[in-house]
Amino acid sequence: MNAFKYGVSLYSYTDDLGTVMTLEDGFDHVASAGATGIEILGETSIPTYPEPTASWLDTWFALLDRYQLEPTNFAAWVDTRLTIGRNMSVQEGVAQIACDLRLAHRLGFKFMRPKFGVIDDELTPDPIWEPAIERNLDLAHQLGIVIMPEIHAPTPIRHPVTDAYIAFIERTGTKNFGLLIDTGIFQDRPLNKWGGGETEEIRKGALSFLNGIKVPVEHLVDVIKYVPFIQAKFHHIDEHLHDHHIPWERIVPMLKKLGYDGYLSSEYEGARDPWVAIEQVRRQHALIRKLEAEYDATHGEKAHA
């Protein structure tokens, strides 16, 4: 039977990294949670992005070795609205993607998530996304990297944005482009604290996002064949291993049923008080492992070790 791979994104430790946590501390917490994969944000984790120093590269590979973690996804941004008055050209978008692909490869990553600027409230990506990606498909193939835009709230699975990505995969026949599902799309109860950078204006004006867009887990059936990676977004899990916003009890059985065997890479995005994320990530791994074991037990398979 398919078994999940367990990972953690260093995004989980936002605000701790740089104030109360070093990069090595982060590796230690990820490894101690029993994860095998580590996800980073390129321009966050690399102090001199986009050009890491030789000493930072030495540190990176030494930490991977010491903590026995594999690099999973390298998160990157294509900041299309470059200045207030000027948008990125297609050529600049191509160069940005190429830069991040090469850097991700150098660090050992197999996936790269570009986050493009958007042009409307539906989060339609800037139209340069398509040529910027297409002109990098050969490079991604050479480097063995899958480029993945994320399907992220408030954009659901059944939406023109997702349809356009799938049409791109079908048209090009590429194996180097897929969909990253962010489990925040399944959020079905309101957030009282959004750890992604809540402001007064967002609290007042982004209610659908904060309340959850409640995508039915059954919609995964439509797209799972295009999904090589999942960011396991969550915001609060209590001491009874009850998640207050994300319905893991429905997500996990659906992913198991659909044969998903890729990473679930934790993205804690709740209260940003110091060190809270460390325990929250551990609770999430305990919860998902429990649900996976229960599914395996009821379907006649030995639980995932």
Partner 1 sequence: MLERSHIQSSGFQNVGPAGARTGFELRIRQPNYRSSRLSLIEGVDLVVDGISYPAEQNRIRVGGHEYSHAEMAEETEARLYVGTFFTVIVPKSGGLAPGVHHVASSIRFRHPYFPPQFQPVFVRSERHATIIVP
Mask: binding to partner 1, 246-285, rule CB under 8 A, as x and -? ----------------------------x-----------
Number of residues that bind partner 1 (CB under 8 A): 38
121 binds partner 1, rule: CB under 8 A: yes
- Of 192, 176, 200, 125, the C-alpha closest to 155 is 125
Q: Which of 81, 106, 299, 302 binds partner 1 (CB under 8 A)?
A: 81
C-alpha distances (whole Å) from 133 to each of 143, 260, 262, 277 are 14, 25, 23, 33
Decide: is 297 part of the binding site for partner 1 (CB under 8 A).
no
The residues pairing with 8 across neighbouring beta strands, listed in sequence order, are 38, 266
Residue 51 touches partner 1, criterion: CB under 8 A:
no
- The 8-class DSSP code of residue 12 comes to G
Residue 188 sits in the site that holds partner 1 (CB under 8 A): no
Contact 108, 70 (CB under 8 A): yes
89 DSSP assignment: P
160 vs 274 by CB, closer to partner 1: 274
83 binds partner 1 (CB under 8 A): yes
Contact status: 160 vs partner 1 (CB under 8 A): no
Tell me the H-state helices in 51-156: 54-67, 90-107, 129-134, 137-143
The least CB distance from residue 42 to partner 1, in Å, is: 9
Residue from 6, 11, 109, 194 touching partner 1 (CB under 8 A): that is 11
Helices (H) and strands (E) in the chain, counts: 12, 9
Contacts of 184 (CB under 8 A, 6+ apart): 152, 153, 233, 246, 269
Q: How far is the CB of 153 from partner 1 (least distance, A)?
A: 12
Smallest separation, CB 18 to partner 1 (Å): 3
Q: Which of 116, 186, 268, 295 binds partner 1 (CB under 8 A)?
A: 116
Q: Does 239 bind partner 1 (CB under 8 A)?
A: no
> Residue 304 catalytic?
no
| Candidate list 33, 41, 287, 291; residue touching partner 1; CB under 8 A | 41
Of the candidates 152, 159, 236, 285, the residue annotated as catalytic is 152
Closest contact distance (angstroms) between CB of 4 and partner 1 is: 25
Stretch that binds partner 1, among 29-37, 197-205, 223-231, 286-294 (CB under 8 A): 197-205
Helix pair 54-67, 23-32: axis angle to 10 deg: 20
For residue 222, the surrounding DSSP H or E stretch is helix 220-223
Of 28, 43, 188, 301, the residue at the interface with partner 1 (CB under 8 A) is 43
At residue 240, φ and ψ (nearest 5 deg) are -100, 15
Name the residue among 28, 40, 24, 69 with its Cα closest to residue 267.
Answer: 40
84 binds partner 1 (CB under 8 A): yes
Q: Where does residue 145 fall: left (phi above 0), alpha (psi -120 to 50 degrees), or beta otherwise?
A: beta
Site residues, partner 1 (CB under 8 A): 11, 14-15, 17-20, 41, 43-44, 47-49, 77, 79-84, 115-121, 123, 126, 196-197, 199-202, 205-206, 274
Q: Catalytic residues, which ones?
A: 152
